[in-house]
Amino acid sequence: MHRAADVGDETALPARHPGSGPPRFVVLVANAKGGCGKTTLSTNLAAYLAAQGQSVSLLDLDPLQSADSWLRRRQALGRHDIHALSLKLDRYTTYGRLSDVVSQARNYLIIDSPGGLDGPVLDYVLRVSQVVLVPVLPSPIDIRAATRFLQAVMLSPCYRQRPRRLAVIANRTRARTRMYEQLRQFLTSLKIPYLATLRDTQLYMQAAGEGGGIIDMPAQRAAEDVEHWRGIAEWLEVQRHLLRALPGLQG
């Protein structure tokens, strides 16, 4: 059993999987606003990485446990390529409890977070993460919410002490619409990477219903969408290798 970590103890979370494996790489999918596609992003990313042969864990912090339900459907169909972790995050969650759960993860950990992350709990989740992916929908409300969330991340004690890598992903978009163009202009104006534009398609819902991701859909139907996930995964691998080469960047 790992000891409970003190809030300010940067050494409390082990950097490596127990044994001799490579450093654990933790990707947080987050946005303070609900309904922006965090679970879709988390589950599809986990499925894509597993399909590439990565050793992947998926941690569901949302009280609704939608990612955990998705993973149960996947396992019921005999697919055990993603390791399940679960913790219902609330205002009583401590950093020690969270880090204990994270310490059980495999080499690649994807965290699906709930909406409304702020204050100490946001700081705790950032402390266990190296990269933060922020999905944003094409609407004025979502753009404003994403702006406030990114500001909250950058002002958090953890981020100010040691910045994490941030990136944004446009979600459920329809090309050649005015709102899409406004979202594209907003994302490209940020001084953080804009990784992909995921289109609004029923393929994601169809895949989720079977515990799958877009990578699991027939190639002739999902080739365009899979390319976006390839780009996201390649960017993450670059960050992962940088952290290995420059261990001083580890959170």
Work out whether the CA dihedral 131, 29, 68, 93 comes out positive or negative: positive
pLDDT digits (tens, 9 = 90+) for 58-83: 999 999 999 999 999 999 999 999 99
Residue 12 lies in a domain: no
Residue 4 lies in a domain: no
Residue 67 lies in a domain: yes
Residue 238 lies in a domain: yes
Compute the CA torsion angle 223, 226, 227, 230 (nearest 10 deg). Answer: -150
Range of the domain at 105: 25-245
pLDDT digits (tens, 9 = 90+) for 114-166: 988 999 999 999 999 999 999 998 888 888 888 899 999 999 999 999 999 99
Work out whether the CA dihedral 230, 232, 235, 239 comes out positive or negative: negative
Q: What is the pLDDT of residue 94?
A: 93
Is 112 within 8 Å of 42 (Cβ atoms)? yes
Q: What CATH number corresponds to the domain at position 90?
A: 3.40.50.300
Say whether 173 sits in a helix, a strand or coil.
strand
Which segment of 19-28, 56-65, 112-121, 201-210 scores lowest on mean pLDDT?
A: 19-28
Residue 15 lies in a domain: no
Residue 218 pLDDT greater than 80, yes or no: yes
Confidence of residue 182 (pLDDT cuts 50, 70, 90): confident
DSSP annotation of 247: G
Is 251 within 8 Å of 128 (Cβ atoms)? yes
Average pLDDT, the chain: 86
Say whether 55 sits in a helix, a strand or coil.
coil
Residue 185 lies in a domain: yes
Q: What is the pLDDT of residue 2?
A: 34
One-letter amino acid at 27 equals: V
pLDDT digits (tens, 9 = 90+) for 31-67: 988 888 999 999 999 999 999 999 999 999 999 999 9
Residue 3 lies in a domain: no
Comparing CA positions, the residue from 176, 223, 225 lying closest to residue 197 is 225
Q: What is the pLDDT of residue 46?
A: 98
Number of domains in the chain: 1
Alpha helices in 89-165 (DSSP H): 95-102, 119-127, 140-155, 157-161
Q: Is the pTM of this model over 0.75?
A: yes
Q: What is the pLDDT of residue 236?
A: 97
Residue 5 lies in a domain: no
Q: What is the pLDDT of residue 59?
A: 98
Q: What is the pLDDT of residue 41?
A: 96
DSSP annotation of 5: P
Confidence of residue 180 (pLDDT cuts 50, 70, 90): confident
